[in-house]
Structure 1
Amino acid sequence: MSDLLRAPAEIKYADELDYLESVDTGPKPSTWRLSPKMIRTFVLGSERSDGLDRVVEQKWFGERGIVERAVVTLASDRGLLLIGDPGTGKSWLAELLAAAVCRNSTQVVQGTAGTTEDHIKYSWNVAQVIAKGQSRESLIPSPIMTAMENGTIGRFEELTRSTSDVQDALISILSEKYVSVPELRGPEGTVFAKPGFAVIATANSRDRGVNDLSSALQRRFNFVRIPVVTNKASEAEIVRFRTEELLRRHQLDLDVPPTLLDVLLRSFGDLRDAARQAASEDEKLGSALSTAEQIGVLEDAVLHSDFFGERTLTARSLGSSLVGSLARRAPEDSAILTKYFTGVVGPRGQQEGGDWPEFHQAGLDALKALA
């Protein structure tokens, strides 16, 4: 793992998956590596009632029912579509589910405006085709086709970012469970899915209207909506979990005071409240203000403190990082943040003291530098 910038879940949690597999006595669908109950334990963490002799850490923070419905869908003939706002953990949940089911979460197609049908089905090795002609050896399978052949999970990120004709290439895969290769004759002309094959797709709810799914494709997916985390305790737990992971990944021995985590959480809560009360889009920050963006602000502040500051996270670095991460549009975002720091953070610093005055001054200084 030390040689990887970011290890996939099946490598990062390999020891835990090995342990769960060794003690798993539950029924497993087809070729699954873990039973549905053990997959839920892997994703949401263990409880005393599970009777395990070691603790399994929680990796995704959300409702149990969401994970259970996702697991049930993967055992069915339908695809799983995780849909929600940016930063709600859709991709992370998809990765964890794929790692638990088949120990391979890397068979991924990334949906963009440039995604073609070849990315979903197959393409050709031109050099081999010229030398030996079209054959099974010269065919380059897509990640989805590879998952079909191996009976594993194929993932499609940001499905609605790809065009409608590309999306519809999934229809035959999800319904008939095979891909035809017209260029090849005989048995090699059809690639059939093996037991265990399933598709997990994600879609950003803010992309609605960009490339909406056809009704035919919608029928072949079970929609599981991932809500924005609104529970402050759950959000605080997510941020703490990611902070510990961040420090381990960067091998940092740096103190992160809990009071500064509270400043970050309350600031995002204030900005979300302001966005909900805004009369127009111009009065809202361009940022989605998701939990993922909170973690991004924290990572920026932690690294800045380690590289250029003291051996502890400071309110000054946090305030500067928040402005640097959220002031994306000029002058709209700068004006919104200036109003927040002068109208909310300033008075709060006078009333509560603590880290707020330094946070307030750092934010104003950063905004002044952007002007």
Structure 2
Amino acid sequence: MSDLLRAPAEIKYAEELDWLESVDDNPKPFSWRLSPKMVRLFVLGSERSDGLDREIAPKWFGDRSFVERSIVTLASDRGLLLIGDPGTGKSWLAELLAAAISRNSTQVVQGTAGTTEDHIKYSWNVSMVIAKGQSRESMIPSPIMTAMETGTIGRFEELTRSTSDVQDALISILSEKYISVPELDSDGGENIVFAKPGFSIIATANSRDRGVNDLSSALKRRFNFVRIPVVTNKKSEAEIVRFRTEELLRRHQIELDVPPTLLDVLLQSFADLRASAESAASDDEKLESALSTAEQIGVLEDAILHSNFFGARELTARTLASSLVGSLARRSPEDLAILNKYLHGVVEPRSKDKGGVWPEFLDGGRDAIATLS
């Protein structure tokens, strides 16, 4: 793992998955490596009532019903669509589910305006086609086709970013569970690639992309929708941020403490900014940022790395404020004005009333805004 910048979940948690598989005596659907119960345990972590000989740490923090419905969907013949705001953990949940079920989360198609039908079905090795003609050997299967042939999970990220003709290519795959290859001879059935039991698709969609490339009603019917909300519970959010921060410190081999008071400041700041966005009369009065948990983690990561490389190897409120402003101020002058209003209208009175690290946080925010203005 030290040779990988970012190890996929099946490699990162290989030892844990091996152990869960060795003690799993529950029935498994199709070619699943773990039973539905063990998949849930892997994602959400174990409890004392599960009766395991070791503790399984949670990797995704959210409502249990979301995970259970996702698992049940994948055990059926329907695709799974995880939909929600940016930074709500949709892709991470999809990766964990694919890793637990198939031990392969890397069969991914990334949806963009440039994604074509070839990315979903297949393309050709041109040099082999010239030399030997079109055959199964000269065909380059897409990640989705590979998942079909192996009976595993394929993933489609940002489905609504793809054009309608690309989305429509999924309809026949999810309905008939095969891909036709008209370029090949029909003798011997080489012109059809059938899906094996266990194949399914996990797609993600950004709810803020509504209207970009809306899904057709035909495609919607072939997916079960699981909506992932923004985490607003402070306790859950603190757990997520702490979990990701510990991973960051281990990966970079950084020995640096994150004081609980500064974590509280970060959580409170995001809660204040979300409340301000909800009460805003227009989009110009809202930060462009989605203010998701993922963005909180990004702010804290930036502050930790800055403190480690350019500071006194100690996280301070000033550095945290500078990272918050630098990460969230994407439009100038609109976002800078919103953050400045927040500092003067909320943080300044709070620093006078509560003291603590808030005055330093206020000064750091003001300096950062002055630098960017």
> Partner residue of 1:19?
19
Q: TM-score, normalised by structure 2?
A: 0.99
Task: State the identity as a percent.
Answer: 82
Superposed displacement of residue 125, structure 1? 0.7
What TM-score does the superposition give when structure 1 sets the normalisation length?
0.99
What do the CA deviations read for 1:233-276 (whole angstroms, capped 9, x no partner)?
11111111111111011110111111100000000000000000
Q: Deviation string for 1:112-155 (max 9, x for gaps)?
A: 00000000000011111111111111100000000000110000
1:287 equivalenced with 2:289 (yes/no): yes
Q: CA deviation at 1:205?
A: 0.6
Cα offset for 1:209? 0.8
* Residue aligning to 1:107: 107
Which residue number corresponds to residue 162 of structure 2?
162
Partner residue of 1:55?
A: 55
State how 1:195-214 maps to structure 2 within 5 Å: 195-214=197-216
Match of 1:261 in 2: 263
After TM superposition, the structure 1 = structure 2 runs for residues 232-311 of structure 1, keeping only pairs within 5 Å, are 232-311=234-313
Q: Tell me the number of residue pairs that the alignment of Structure 1 and Structure 2 aligns.
A: 371
Cα distance in structure 1, aligned partners of 2:207 and 2:89 = 13
In structure 2, distance between residues paired with 1:320 and 1:91: 28
CA-CA distance at 1:354 after TM superposition: 1.1
Is 1:78–2:78 an aligned residue pair? yes
Distance in 2 separating the partners of 1:315 and 1:227: 29
Task: Name structure 1 gaps, 5 residues minimum.
Answer: none
**Rounded Cα–Cα distance in structure 2 between residues aligned with 1:231 and 1:342:** 26
> Displacement of 1:39 after TM fit?
0.5
Query: Which AA in structure 1 matches 2:56?
Result: V
> Which residue in 1 is equivalent to 2:357?
355
Secondary structure of residue in 2 paired with 1:62: coil
Structure 1 CA distance, aligned partners of 2:69 and 2:258?
Answer: 36
1:351, CA displacement in angstroms? 1.1
User: 1:310 & 1:46 partners in 2: Cα distance?
Assistant: 38
**Distance in 1 of aligned mates of 2:342 and 2:182:** 61
Q: Which residue of 224, 227, 232 corresponds with 2:226? A: 224
Q: Once the 2 structures are TM-superposed, how far is the Cα of residue 346 of structure 1 from its aligned partner? A: 1.2
Counterpart CA distance in 2 for 1:340 and 1:214 is 41
Write the deviation string for residues 264-304 of structure 1: whole angstroms up to 9, x where unpaired: 00000000000001010000000000000000000000000
* Amino acid aligned to 1:98: A
Alignment of 1:39-50 (within 5 A): 39-50=39-50
Describe the superposition over 1:133-192 as per-residue Cα deviations: whole angstroms up to 9, x where unpaired: 111111000000000001100000000000011000001100100000000012211000
Q: Secondary structure at the match of 1:5?
A: coil
Matched with 1:116 is 116
Match of 1:37 in 2: 37
Partner of 2:144: 144
Deviation by residue 1:60-90 (Cα, 9 ceiling, x = unmatched): 0011111110000001010000001111100
- What is the deviation of 1:6? 0.4
Whole-angstrom CA distance in 1 between matches of 2:314 and 2:100: 36
| Partner residue, 1:179 | 179
Secondary structure of the residue that 1:65 maps to in structure 2? helix
Q: Distance in 2 between matches of 1:270 and 1:138?
A: 57
The Cα of 1:322 is off from its aligned counterpart by 0.3
List runs of 5+ in structure 2 lacking aligned partners: none
State whether structure 2 residue 107 is matched by structure 1 residue 127: no
Give the C-alpha shift of residue 337 in structure 1.
0.4
Q: CA–CA distance in 1 between the matches of 2:147 and 2:16?
A: 24
Residue 317 of structure 2: which of 309, 315, 318 is its match?
A: 315
Secondary structure of the structure 1 residue equivalent to 2:312? coil
Quick one: which of 352, 355, 365 aligns to 2:367? 365
Matched, 1:192 2:194: yes
Q: 2:137 is paired with a residue of what secondary structure?
A: helix
SS of the aligned residue for 2:201 comes to strand
